[in-house]
């Protein structure tokens, strides 16, 4: 019997608010499929260890192959659009996410399974609905971090982690929301460890 270290312990499922990706000094570019809907988009599904570290770029031989996910492309363009410049069809973003993160969960999820799992998690976690039901709207106003977290915990059942970035005037704003998922990609779980990084007590929720 040879003990083997585990591939990874859980996933972070990370969604980004497009208004906050764009409302920065650097700005953004819409994909060539057009301006995405004013909704959270997927950033990635990231294998992680319980000690807070994470594996990356685990299998250079398993490169991104669009043909393996052809049935998912239109759903991905809606729910996983790239806002980086220059404008693109988002393929580079998905390639990066697969090669950096997805290859580290290849023992449990095929390439198709990885993207399909992320899309299905997105379908199960309507963050915008959770926030707007609590009166937290993408209207450029500021909201308390605690109220944002409680609205999501109340609607989804699990404690999120909020990542902030800063707009061109230096205001802290709601950029990304992290939820944790078991290492099969099946169910949300309470996060074994939270990421690091500061938000203000009150953060802006910009429009998109």
Nearest approach in angstroms of CB 145 to ligand 5GP is: 6
Q: Whose Cβ is closer to ligand 5GP: residue 116's or residue 176's? A: 176
- The reply to whether 112 belongs to the active site is no
Q: Report the residue number, 3 or 60, with the smaller CB distance to ligand 5GP.
A: 60
Whole-angstrom distance, CA of residue 198 vs CA of residue 139:
22
On the 0-12 / 13-18 / 19+ scale of CB atoms within 10 A, 125 is buried
Question: Which C-beta is closer to ligand 5GP: that of 78 or that of 100?
Answer: 100
| Residue 43 is among the residues annotated as catalytic for this protein | yes
Residues sharing a CB contact under 8 Å with residue 96, sequence separation 6 or more, in sequence order: none
Phi, psi of 31 (to 5 degrees): -65, 160
Closer to ligand 5GP at the Cβ: 50 or 129?
Answer: 50
List of residues contacting ligand 5GP (CB under 6 A): 12, 16, 21, 43-44, 46, 48, 54, 82-84, 93, 96-97, 100, 145, 149, 161-162, 164, 195, 197-199
CB of 1 to ligand 5GP, least distance (A): 29
Q: How far is the CB of 95 from ligand 5GP (least distance, A)?
A: 9
Q: Give CA–CA dist 106/127, Å, rounded.
A: 27
Residues recognised as catalytic: 43, 97, 101
């Amino acid at each position: 019997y040879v003990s083997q270290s585990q591939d990874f312990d859980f996933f972070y499922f990370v969604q980004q608010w497009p208004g906050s990706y764009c409302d920065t000094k650097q700005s953004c570019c819409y994909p060539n499929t057009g301006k995405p809907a004013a909704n959270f988009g997927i950033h990635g599904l990231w294998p992680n260890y319980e000690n807070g570290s994470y594996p990356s770029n685990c299998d250079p031989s398993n490169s991104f192959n669009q043909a393996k996910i052809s049935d998912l492309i239109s759903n991905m363009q809606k729910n996983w659009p790239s806002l980086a410049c220059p404008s693109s069809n988002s393929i580079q973003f998905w390639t990066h996410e697969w090669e950096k993160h997805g290859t580290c969960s290849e023992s449990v999820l095929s390439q198709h399974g990885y993207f399909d799992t992320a899309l299905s998690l997105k379908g199960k976690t309507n963050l915008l609905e959770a926030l707007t039901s609590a009166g937290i709207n993408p209207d450029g106003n500021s909201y308390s971090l605690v109220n944002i977290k409680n609205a999501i915990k109340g609607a989804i059942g699990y404690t999120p982690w909020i990542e902030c970035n800063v707009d061109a005037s230096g205001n802290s704003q709601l950029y990304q929301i992290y939820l944790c998922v078991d290492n099969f990609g099946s169910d949300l779980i309470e996060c074994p460890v939270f990421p690091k990084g500061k938000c203000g007590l009150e953060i802006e929720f910009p429009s998109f």
